[in-house]
Amino acid sequence: MSRGADVAVRSAPDGEGPRPLVLVGVRITHDRAEIAELELASHDDVDARVRTLLERDGVSEATVVQTCNRVEEYVVAESAPAGRAALSDFTERLSETAVVEMDHGESLRHLLRVAAGLESQVLGEDQILGQVRRSYVTSKEAGALGPVLEDALLKAIHVGERARSETAINEGIVSLGSAAVDLADRERDLDGRVVVVGAGDVAGTVVAALGERDATDLCILNRSAERARALAEPVGAEWGDLDGLADHLRAADVVIASTGSAAPVIGRASLADAGETFVVDLGQPRDVAPDVRELPRVTAYALDALRAVPRRTHEE
């Protein structure tokens, strides 16, 4: 980390000398928290949260890194106690076992590890690097970056790029999408009909992984049919909106869901008559209602179940 992130100072009143700026972070991540706590910690509007943190007493910089597997908040403050106080409303509603508080040095090291893919549920995943970039842009546009966090985030992005170009960390199963497809292929082969619900970045990795496994009977559904079409046409898949979701689910052997919805898009009723169906929910918040697991002919997995899938990549 360059000197700017380590020794940035703020002017103090005359006679008091320079006052060092301190980076304070707090995180809740997949390795310590269940999905319910990650849902509780997540912000509907990350941009608004960054602006809120910036308004707290003693805070001069702020950023939030939020993905389906982590919510992390960082502030630069005039003192560590001021930074912790600014983040207290985030930590007080979560269990002590799920929350990790980070001092200046640990926050810097952790950001580097996150961008490199070392802290991901799927070791070496590429999506996290783009998510760190989005955090940088969001905070930059909010006027929330200064000499500490701007330097830290740019250095983390650079380290993440080098990790992927100079090592083999992003070989093998390196996305939630490919982990979900690997799980479905082992538990229920992909020769039948596969329905992907969602058309965002994670759904894109699902479709790419399905292509590598030669899945041919594929349908992509999304709230915006045009986004589903854009993802489906290059691979020759069917596509549509969510209006006929229940009919598509009844015909599916495998369902993999990853949308940006704030509430489940697949409920018990839509799968009650679906027959033998294998479901993987990659949504955060959940895309599949928890009571779906009570259906006798439905096997449903959420993000927690994917933690063991990439283990062989980690060992390699």
Q: Which residues are catalytic?
A: 68
Cα–Cα distance, 57 to 60 (Å, whole number): 9
Residue bearing tokens 């009909």: 193
Q: Are strands 298-301 and 99-102 parallel, antiparallel or unpaired?
A: unpaired
Residue 73: partners with Cβ closer than 8 Å, 6 or more residues away: 25, 26, 27, 49, 53, 62, 63, 64, 87, 90
- Residue-by-residue DSSP string for 14-81: TTS--EE-EEEEEEEETTT--HHHHHHH--S-HHHHHHHHHTSTTEEEEEEEEETTEEEEEEEESSHH
Residue 200: partners with Cβ closer than 8 Å, 6 or more residues away: 227, 258, 259, 260
Burial class (CB in 10 A: 0-12, 13-18, 19+), 255: buried
Q: Could you give the count of Cα atoms lying within 13 Å of 303 in the half-sphere of its Cβ?
A: 27
**CA–CA–CA angle 258, 296, 281 (5° rounding):** 10
